[in-house]
Structure 1
Amino acid sequence: MRPVLVLTHASHEGPGLIGPAIDGPLQVRTVLDVAEPRLPSLDDVAGVVVMGGPMDADDERHPGLAAERRLLADAVDADVPVLGVCLGMQLLGLALGARLHRRHGTEIGFAPVDVVADDPVLGPLGTRPTVLHWHSDAVDLPSGATLLASTPATPVQAFRAGSALGLQFHPEVTASMLELWLTTPDMTAGLAEDEVVAVRADGARHLPTLVPAAEKALAAFGELARARG
């Protein structure tokens, strides 16, 4: 099987549950600050996964983001399975011509999303799953894409565009990963101590149900990647 390319933007925002769900080789790269990164040919990968990060999807101070957007656009054109998470979804949206809204509305913590359309990958989460949010930017729905999930604060929480799935929320997070985030100053900047305590308590309550559902959802993406081989 060809590897799945995983693009990361922060050391604490790795693939989490996505890795085991793919059940195949991963090629993890960080090209955030590389002006002309040497990314693999799409012919050499089974899929592309783009993770989250604290920067804006159009931040020119991180020149590698432009290369990621070009790769995402090319991947959709080539029908390569793509999964974009949080910043990854925003990069995917920009790659497909949508508009980014900086500081649109902060959502941090566990809260439900309304799933509004069927999707083979998103489906196992259910119709109104409680998921982990950690963002303040938002992106419009790309032209021709299907809206899959929404919240009042963030109308586009998930979308499907051909071979690509964008998720504004974080299905990849495990209990240990959440604890890492809650003890990473870059993640908790701006949060009061009682908010950190609340997110930790909500994680203990919701992750035992969310993780098995997320594993099934991400396994569906893994099946798409393995089918490409």
Structure 2
Amino acid sequence: MKTALIIRHVPREGVAGFREPIEAAGYVIDRVDVDNQDFHALDLVAPDLVVMMGGPMGVYEREAHPWISCQLKLLARRLAADRPMLGVCFGSQMIAAALGADVYPGPTKEIGFAPVTIHDRDGPLRHLSDVPVLHWHGDTFTLPEGAELLASSPAYQHQAFRKGRNVLALQFHAEMGEDERFVDWIAQDMDYLTAAGQCPDELRAAHEVHGPRAVAAGRAMIAEWLTGLV
């Protein structure tokens, strides 16, 4: 039986809409939070699939979050073994950093539903073409050496990349759109939203309008990606 380990950096950012295609592909899902006292002892090479979700911290905030350095070491071992891994938002930045890329604050806070430009029209991300997906970040990264750029937005060139067939990194949140925790995202990030000039009511309305379509496209993307894993 195949195993999938979900790494949560904050409780409100779980696997959400991606749970369905992962379970449909035959994976038994387990979850670990980075504040677990045994996190440092994890064997991240062992699970058949590792999924790292988002979080409000930056990869460069290692003094404030000592587990970041620990997690990067664990990720490096998994990447060296070329084991399947998916990263979302902060998770994608962690993959980039573990591959030797620089992660740093971007020019603006990108928040809200908007489509991304898909560069690989034949790959799994084609399901997202012209579909507004959720963005909620202010950091970005250089493209890791040997990685293929898959998607961009007007504000951020590096929205998605893959390294071989087993590593997929998504800056945006195609898993969010039907999860009730979106309310917590807004409540917990009010200062962040205010600084970005975002209106909570408008975000909630956009979530109602675009969420189901975004999640359906995200599920199709992940389902297809999983079938191509080595």
TM value normalised by structure 1: 0.88
Larger CA deviation: 111-120 vs 131-140 = 111-120
Q: Does 1:108 align with 2:111?
A: yes
Q: Provide the residue aligned with 1:208 in structure 2.
A: 212
What pairs up with 1:122-133 in 2 under 5 angstroms?
122-126=125-129, 128-133=130-135
Contact 1:112 1:130 in 2 (8 A): yes
Question: How has the CA–CA distance of structure 1 residues 146 and 155 changed in structure 2, closer, same or farther, with 3 Å as cutoff?
Answer: same
Q: Does 1:79 align with 2:82?
A: yes
Q: Does 1:170 align with 2:168?
A: no
What pairs up with 1:122-161 in 2 under 5 angstroms?
122-126=125-129, 128-161=130-163
RMSD, aligned CA: 2.2
Residues 116-170 of structure 1: per-residue CA shift (max 9 Å, x gap)? 12464323222x3311000001111111110111112111000011221110000
How many corresponding residue pairs? 222
Q: 2:202 aligns with which of 175, 184, 198?
A: 198
Residues 58-84 of structure 1: per-residue CA shift (max 9 Å, x gap)? 221212112222232222222211110
Contact 1:6 1:50 in 2 (8 A): yes
Question: How has the CA–CA distance of structure 1 residues 81 and 132 changed in structure 2, closer, same or farther, with 3 Å as cutoff?
Answer: same
* One-letter amino acid of the counterpart of residue 184, structure 2: L
Question: How has the CA–CA distance of structure 1 residues 30 and 139 changed in structure 2, closer, same or farther, with 3 Å as cutoff?
Answer: same
Q: Provide the residue aligned with 2:7 in structure 1.
A: 7
Share of identical aligned residues, percent?
36
Partner Cα separation in structure 1 for residue 223 and residue 204 of structure 2: 26
Q: Does 1:16 align with 2:16?
A: yes
Larger CA deviation: 77-86 vs 87-96 = 77-86
Contact 1:76 1:161 in 2 (8 A): no
Question: How has the CA–CA distance of structure 1 residues 202 and 221 changed in structure 2, closer, same or farther, with 3 Å as cutoff?
Answer: same
Higher strand share: 2
Partner Cα separation in structure 1 for residue 31 and residue 122 of structure 2: 26
Contact 1:157 1:168 in 2 (8 A): yes
Q: 1:50 aligns with which of 49, 52, 65?
A: 52
User: Cα distance, 1:210 vs. partner?
Assistant: 1.4
Partner Cα separation in structure 2 for residue 119 and residue 99 of structure 1: 28
Contact 1:112 1:131 in 2 (8 A): yes
Partner Cα separation in structure 2 for residue 41 and residue 110 of structure 1: 32
Larger CA deviation: 216-225 vs 3-12 = 216-225
Question: How has the CA–CA distance of structure 1 residues 194 and 6 changed in structure 2, closer, same or farther, with 3 Å as cutoff?
Answer: closer
Contact 1:100 1:140 in 2 (8 A): yes
User: Cα distance, 1:29 vs. partner?
Assistant: 0.9
Question: How has the CA–CA distance of structure 1 residues 67 and 221 changed in structure 2, closer, same or farther, with 3 Å as cutoff?
Answer: farther
Q: Provide the residue aligned with 1:179 in structure 2.
A: 183
User: Cα distance, 1:2 vs. partner?
Assistant: 3.2
Question: How has the CA–CA distance of structure 1 residues 204 and 41 changed in structure 2, closer, same or farther, with 3 Å as cutoff?
Answer: closer
Contact 2:44 2:50 in 1 (8 A): no
Contact 2:44 2:74 in 1 (8 A): no
Question: How has the CA–CA distance of structure 1 residues 15 and 89 changed in structure 2, closer, same or farther, with 3 Å as cutoff?
Answer: same
Q: 1:121 aligns with which of 124, 133, 136?
A: 124
